[in-house]
Amino acid sequence: MADNFEITEEMKAQIGWTSSPWSYEVTRTSVRAFARGVGYTDLVYYDVESARKAGYRDLPAPTTYLGTAIFIPGQSDDFLPFAPGSHPSVDHGLPGLLDGGTETEYFGDICAGDTLTCVNKLDDLFTKESKGLGTMLIMSSESTYTNQDGKVVAVQRSQAIFY
């Protein structure tokens, strides 16, 4: 918990930071694992035949699937589902982390077999006071997902809270 936390000029200079693009493969196995993690019982997320009968090209990505991990040892965070190089290093020194909120907007469908290219941008940094947690640093970022045909299929905006 921080009582006197302030955003420094160095941190502010990171606003607008944009990652290099990374490849994000949507696979049948990853769609099934995500659907199982949530507890979906609809077979379209597990069985290709059921998915095609319902009008999908292949197993559809469940609606909050984007943001699942790309893990490369030595390059990714050990715990958080961030692709290597997808997040800026903001040296804030706050140990606690909570998720603030998520918004995903779709411009096309996403199914198993798609390879998306993703770019993440640090949109904003600001502080907020919390009774229980002291001064919190809010980091908002925006990830853009483009599919193999060059179409932007989704934009996801997230807020991370550090305290």
Partner 1 sequence: MTITWENIKEGDIIPELKKNPGVSQLVKYAAGSGDFNPLHHDFNFFQAKAIGSIIVHGRFKYATLGECVSNWMGHVGHIKKISCQYRGMDFPDKEITCKGTIERKWEENGEKLVELSVWTENDEGKNTTPGSIIVSFNN
**Is 36 a binder of partner 1 (CB under 8 A)?**
yes
**Is 96 a binder of partner 1 (CB under 8 A)?**
yes
Interface residue with partner 1 among 75, 101, 148, 151 (CB under 8 A) is: 101
Interface residue with partner 1 among 26, 35, 137, 153 (CB under 8 A) is: 35
Residues 15-34 that bind partner 1 (CB under 8 A): 30, 33-34
Choice between 13 and 98, CB closer to partner 1: 98
Residue type, 45: Y
Q: Residue 62 and residue 122: Cα distance in Å, rounded? A: 25
52-91 footprint of partner 1 as x/- string (CB under 8 A): --xxx-----xxx--xxxxx------xxxx----------
**Three-state SS letters, 121-135:** EEEEEEEEEECCCEE
CB of 4 to partner 1, least distance (A): 20
Residues that bind partner 1 (CB under 8 A): 30, 33-40, 42, 44, 54-56, 62-64, 67-71, 78-81, 95-106, 109, 157, 159
